[in-house]
A and B are shown apart, each in its own frame.
Chain A
Amino acid sequence: QKEVEQNSGPLSVPEGAIASLNCTYSDRGSQSFFWYRQYSGKSPELIMFIYSNGDKEDGRFTAQLNKASQYVSLLIRDSQPSDSATYLCAVRDSGGGADGLTFGKGTHLIIQP
């Protein structure tokens, strides 16, 4: 059974600071890794995805992947109150998009003004 583990939080971060969200996954064969943001009562919104070991930056967001440690993280720089949400880590077996995603339970992030 594939598992994706996240600390449920809440993780409280002051406005302007860096928020660091972590995720581990059990299936060493996973190929694609995603971070989604979900506001209460809404569906997930894609923040970014990463396939290769190392860092990938997009604006204030940086995803980090370490396949050897089966670990994915998301850094949010200059955190804003609007970043307060639940962040879902998801993995997929394949790189091509034909397979569904396995989600973690999410980390509830609170940005304190």
Chain B
Amino acid sequence: GAVVSQHPSRVICKSGTSVKIECRSLDFQATTMFWYRQFPKQSLMLMATSNEGSKATYEQGVEKDKFLINHASLTLSTLTVTSAHPEDSSFYICSARLQETQCFGPGTRLLVL
């Protein structure tokens, strides 16, 4: 079946640094990928929609200059959290469009100290 990977699975960084998270569709091409964030005991919140070869579309309240998204190929999208702060600590999950549904990656747990 379709598989989406994320790297790294966990990352701990100091406040003020930038962190890059990769999302790859392993056995299919994804023209559209999505980035979600989930805080403890909360639901997944869509951050942005990433389309291959074009600029990402950000949801209301998500700072595009802080969360940089690049979707340079049909199998890779990256999310860079710039100048991370403790309030950015969360579970970041990507998904890739697979026909009418989405295939989710395993998630990246970010802890900003």
Contact = CB atoms under 8 A, between A and B. Distances in A.
Nearest to A108: B41
A90 B100 CA distance: 13
B12 interface: no
Interface in A42-97: 42-46, 49, 88, 90, 95-97
Main secondary structure of the interface of B (DSSP, over half): strand
Task: Give 4 nearest A-B pairs by CB, closest first.
Answer: A100-B46, A103-B43, A105-B43, A43-B107
Contact of A101 (B42, B102, B107): B102
Binding site secondary structure of chain A? loop
Interface residues of A, number: 23
Contacts of B102: 46, 97, 101
Contact of A42 (B34, B42, B106): B106
B77 interface: no
Contacts of B99: 97
Contacts, number: 54
Interface of A: 4, 32, 34, 42-46, 49, 88, 90, 95-106
Nearest to B35: A100
Contacts of B34: 100-101
Interface centre among B44, B45, B59 (most CB of A within 10 A): B44
B21 interface: no
B44 A49 contact: no
Interface residues of B, number: 22
Contacts of A104: 43
Interface string B83-98: 0000000000100011
A46 B105 CA distance: 12
Given A43-B105, A103-B44, 16 more contacts: A43-B104, A44-B93, A45-B104, A46-B104, A49-B101, A88-B44, A90-B44, A96-B100, A97-B100, A97-B102, A100-B34, A100-B46, A100-B49, A101-B34, A103-B43, A104-B43
A44 B100 contact: no
Contacts of A95: 100
B107 A42 contact: yes
Contacts of B43: 4, 88, 103-106
